[in-house]
């Protein structure tokens, strides 16, 4: 009788122990290991990998390892097959079946909770927030009644769900204003998100220096310290957030200061191309390696929310300067030069790839939201 024995590698497992578990000796192991260069991959098995053994048993009850399958993931691995006392090796490459999945949500409390209610995977909600990070400040902008929809792939292999894929198209309506983004793989093979006109969703500046998902899920900024959300005489935007919440650089640039400065407390200043500067104050501490001269990329963590300087509660004081003059980051970003759009020469390719998708997405949205908005019978 022949049966596959499937072993999932657990933390602390080693190959020798796994081989002995299925009744094989160290000699058996060495025979596979020495059979080919590819077999060296067996020296690096990690928790989560799967090892499948095929050991047909002869009439005497003895078995010899006939096939060994190493799966790094359901999609990728190696198959070793006994051949004249040696093992031939072939790689395994499976292609998942993609099933587009459409989900909608409405904000009642937080984006996080809305995603949970609709059973949208957290990674997918986070990806949506990242896609719109240049047009929506997910800390300050969301309001109860905002709605969103996401069309994303789920991956299946032999009918079995194996993971979440990319967002294909997504839409967020914030305070009545709708943003739509569609995935497009450009002529360089790079995937990005664009609006229907081919303008990139990736902007020079992130709307929010805080990542909504780095704020603990039970923290609701709209319910707390509403007074902090206004632009005050001190020319900054204050983001109430728990101490230790990571702060990210809103654009690429160079740190020109990471030190204490009076009422600002621990202060980071980043200089950006085009005469822009951003300031981040009251930090509890700086991120590792953040000091004067350090280059940072958009989204890099530069420090953590605190109360240093004159701050009554933990919050981030954020300033945005243009040519040395304070600007309201909530309105100035709209006045900045337009983000990079798809080259006119590439627009045909963009339309070919996205027109049907956007049409399908728009149909799904209108069907769903009409149903949602129909008056109920009672």
**Binding residues for Zn ion, total number by CB under 5 A:** 3
Q: How far apart, in whole angstroms, are the C-alpha atoms of residue 50 and residue 33?
A: 17
Q: Provide, rounded to whole angstroms, the least separation between the CB of residue 238 and Zn ion.
A: 4
**With respect to Zn ion, which residue has the nearer C-beta, 234 or 359?**
234
Q: What is the DSSP string of 108-128?
A: SS-HHHHHHHTT--HHHHHHH
Coil, helix or strand for 318?
strand
Our finding on whether 236 is near Zn ion (CB under 5 A) is yes
**With respect to Zn ion, which residue has the nearer C-beta, 312 or 373?**
312
* Residue range at the interface with Zn ion (CB under 5 A); choices 168-176, 246-254, 311-319, 353-361: 311-319
**With respect to Zn ion, which residue has the nearer C-beta, 207 or 282?**
282
Q: How far apart, in whole angstroms, are the C-alpha atoms of residue 192 and residue 339?
A: 13
* Residue range at the interface with Zn ion (CB under 5 A); choices 157-165, 188-196, 228-236, 268-276: 228-236
Q: Provide, rounded to whole angstroms, the least separation between the CB of residue 8 and Zn ion.
A: 51
The H-or-E segment that residue 319 falls in is strand 315-322
Tokens for 240, please give them. 């109430």
Quote the Cα angle for 243-247-249, to 5°. Answer: 165
Binding mask 70-99 for Zn ion (x = CB under 5 A): ------------------------------
**With respect to Zn ion, which residue has the nearer C-beta, 272 or 315?**
315
DSSP symbol at 373: H
CB atoms within 10 A of CB 175: 10
Q: Provide, rounded to whole angstroms, the least separation between the CB of residue 285 and Zn ion.
A: 18
CA dihedral 7→12→14→18, nearest 10 degrees, is -30
**With respect to Zn ion, which residue has the nearer C-beta, 204 or 321?**
321
Q: Provide, rounded to whole angstroms, the least separation between the CB of residue 46 and Zn ion.
A: 46
**With respect to Zn ion, which residue has the nearer C-beta, 103 or 317?**
317
* Residue range at the interface with Zn ion (CB under 5 A); choices 27-35, 232-240, 256-264, 291-299: 232-240
| Residue least distant from Zn ion (Cβ) | 317
**With respect to Zn ion, which residue has the nearer C-beta, 137 or 153?**
137
**With respect to Zn ion, which residue has the nearer C-beta, 202 or 326?**
326
- Pick the binder of Zn ion from 317, 333, 342, 365 (CB under 5 A): 317
Q: How far apart, in whole angstroms, are the C-alpha atoms of residue 281 and residue 270?
A: 12
Q: Provide, rounded to whole angstroms, the least separation between the CB of residue 254 and Zn ion.
A: 24
- CA distances, 242 to each of 235, 287, 308 (Å): 22, 16, 13
**With respect to Zn ion, which residue has the nearer C-beta, 96 or 236?**
236
CB atoms within 10 A of CB 22: 17
Q: Provide, rounded to whole angstroms, the least separation between the CB of residue 312 and Zn ion.
A: 10
DSSP symbol at 350: H
* Residue range at the interface with Zn ion (CB under 5 A); choices 36-44, 92-100, 181-189, 235-243: 235-243
Q: Which residues pair with 52 in a beta bridge?
A: 6, 69
Q: Provide, rounded to whole angstroms, the least separation between the CB of residue 228 and Zn ion.
A: 8
Our finding on whether 238 is near Zn ion (CB under 5 A) is yes
Q: Provide, rounded to whole angstroms, the least separation between the CB of residue 316 and Zn ion.
A: 8
Q: How far apart, in whole angstroms, are the C-alpha atoms of residue 142 and residue 137?
A: 8
- CA distances, 83 to each of 13, 19, 62, 67, 77 (Å): 28, 19, 18, 10, 19
Q: Provide, rounded to whole angstroms, the least separation between the CB of residue 248 and Zn ion.
A: 18
Q: How far apart, in whole angstroms, are the C-alpha atoms of residue 367 and residue 371?
A: 6
Nearest residue to 134 (alpha-carbon basis) of 174, 106, 105: 174
Query: Can you give the binding site for Zn ion, defined by CB under 5 A?
Result: 236, 238, 317
């Amino acid at each position: 009788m022949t049966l596959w024995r499937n072993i999932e590698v657990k933390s602390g497992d080693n190959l020798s122990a796994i081989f002995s578990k299925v009744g094989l000796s160290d000699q058996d192991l060495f025979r596979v290991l020495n059979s080919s260069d590819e077999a060296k991959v067996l020296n690096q098995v990690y928790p989560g990998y799967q090892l499948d053994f095929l050991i047909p048993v002869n009439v005497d009850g003895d078995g010899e390892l006939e096939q060994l399958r190493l799966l790094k993931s359901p999609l990728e691995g190696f198959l070793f097959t006994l051949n004249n006392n040696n093992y031939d090796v072939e790689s395994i490459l499976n292609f998942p079946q993609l099933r587009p999945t459409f989900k909608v949500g409405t904000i009642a409390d937080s984006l996080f909770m809305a995603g949970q209610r609709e059973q949208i995977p957290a990674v997918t909600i986070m990806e949506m927030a990242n896609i719109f990070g240049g047009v929506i400040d997910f800390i300050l902008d969301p309001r109860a009644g905002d709605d969103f929809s996401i069309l994303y792939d789920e991956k299946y292999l032999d009918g079995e769900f194996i993971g979440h894929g990319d967002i294909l198209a997504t839409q967020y309506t914030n305070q009545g204003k709708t943003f739509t983004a569609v995935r497009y793989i450009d002529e360089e093979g790079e995937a990005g998100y664009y609006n229907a006109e081919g303008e990139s969703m990736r902007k020079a500046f992130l709307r929010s220096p805080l990542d909504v998902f780095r704020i603990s899920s039970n923290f609701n900024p709209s319910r707390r310290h509403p007074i902090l959300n206004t632009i005050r005489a001190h020319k900054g935007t204050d983001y109430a957030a728990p101490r230790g919440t990571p702060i990210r650089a809103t654009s690429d640039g160079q740190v020109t200061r990471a030190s204490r400065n009076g009422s600002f407390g621990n202060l980071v200043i980043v200089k950006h191309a085009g005469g822009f500067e951003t300031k981040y104050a009251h930090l509890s501490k700086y991120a590792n390696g953040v000091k004067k001269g350090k280059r940072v990329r958009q989204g890099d963590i530069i420090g953590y929310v605190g109360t240093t300087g004159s701050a009554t509660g933990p919050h981030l004081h954020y300033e945005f300067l243009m040519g040395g003059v304070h600007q309201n980051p909530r309105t100035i970003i709209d006045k900045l030069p337009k983000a990079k759009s798809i080259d006119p020469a590439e627009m045909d390719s963009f339309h070919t790839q996205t027109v049907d998708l956007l049409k399908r997405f728009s149909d799904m949205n209108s069907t769903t939201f009409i149903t949602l908005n129909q008056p109920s019978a009672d």
